[in-house]
Homo-oligomer: A and B are copies of this chain.
């Protein structure tokens, strides 16, 4: 399994996802920027401005070079030449009834033989829809289960812990799965790891297209939109304060415009905002907690 093979697959995943988003939007909504990294490698950033997706990005990168000692320390490995490739997506829909989605799949190796995969996919509804949550988590569980029963519970819990806005004491959304530094110790072989990562990458389109078809034409009010802008500000807070990928990128002179493609087009902050008891916003707020077994969730 050569690194070129992995990065080529990631690149084709980017293409496939962009094609499907263009189909959904019924036109080309992407602006592509190719960039090169000073230390080696580069990427293809694709920013979206659409009718359904108000703002978002589907980014591919494959970078290599001498690892800064700061990064080696953070990873707990000796400074080496490294290679890293991946695809990152964040979509901020216009319609508040359609959730924000994020996916990342990545591969990392050093010339000393260390290697691992990482990734995750999580959904941030402005309004939690239980049927969506059941569909999304069931889909992920099925993908995970074909590699062993242990993975969905492990990676689902990891997502609950990772996509957590500590200073708000709330999850970013309904979670999903998250995994990092996964290699043959977990999956038996590199091929099996890569198969898993490809399965997750390929899940993006059926998941988001399903959600988009369900909600893209739903009507909404000014007040729904106001709540969407508040939820987006929480998304900003998570990404800028807690997301390790964002912090790492900004701290190591990554391409800022590609890293911050995850920012929403518009966000609002209101001092000490309180939801109305019993409202749909209140219901959503109460579901932003860790440890919900979405697949078996029963509405009261």
Contact = CB atoms under 8 A, between A and B. Distances in A.
A250 B261 CA distance: 24
Nearest to A262: B269
When all copies of this chain in the complex are counted, the total is: 2
Interface in A210-234: 229, 233
Interface stretch (A136-144, A197-205, A236-244, A275-283): A236-244
B269 A268 contact: no
Contact of A31 (B237, B241, B271): B271
A269 B55 contact: yes
A27 interface: no
A271 B240 CA distance: 16
Size class of the A contact interface (CB-based, 8 Å)? 20 to 34
A291 interface: no
A271 B265 CA distance: 9
Given A256-B168, A269-B55, A240 B247 contact: no
Contacts of A57: 271
Contacts of A166: 250
A70 to B, nearest CB: 14
Given A240-B241, A261-B271, 5 more contacts: A55-B269, A167-B250, A233-B263, A257-B271, A267-B267
Interface of A: 31, 33, 47, 49, 55, 57, 166-168, 229, 233, 236-237, 240-241, 247, 250, 253, 256-257, 259-261, 263-272
